[in-house]
Amino acid sequence: VTLMLDTSGSMSSVGRELGVSGFAVKEACDQVGIDCTVVTFDSDSQELWRAIDRHVEPVALKPGGGTNPISAFNVLDSHREEQKYHLVIILTDGVWNGDVKCHDYASDGRVFLGVAFGAEVDTAYLLRVGCDQVVNIDAIEQLPEVVRNFLLNFLG
């Protein structure tokens, strides 16, 4: 699993919740033996936790900058660790900069789940940029449950 968290300026009101939710997803995956990498993206990207990191601690993120996921997409192949499947979860509240499409980073067994944060987010946009499935949430705290449900249905 790769969790890509939008930490652009428009997410500044939920920085703490983003860090806690990313931590919850990472911990849940670790507990059931699923490799999970958590990446943030704004004008640049940063690996928050790598798949090999264990016993991580929640962090408060400080969102700022634009919404450009390209550097996060560029490292997806290094997150796969030769697994048959690679779920990429993208949490965002808006439109990305540039013409970045999930299709450009597709590979066998890689699935993109778009998580639209906020009632005003255009979920159709996430489908247009190539997410295989899209869900909408109105609270960041819903993210771990969305991931859990998707994994149960996907792997089920």
pTM beyond cutoff 0.75? yes
Task: Give the neighbor-by-neighbor strand order of the sheet with 110-117.
Answer: 45-49, 37-41, 2-6, 86-92, 110-117, 133-137
Predicted confidence pLDDT, tens digits, the chain (156 residues): 999 999 999 999 999 999 999 999 999 999 888 999 999 999 999 999 999 998 899 898 999 999 999 999 999 988 887 788 899 999 999 888 888 899 899 888 999 999 999 878 888 999 999 999 999 999 988 998 998 888 888 766
Give the residue among 40, 44, 13, 15 at the shortest CA–CA distance from 26.
Answer: 40
Distance in angstroms (rounded) separating the CA atoms of residues 61 and 83 = 29
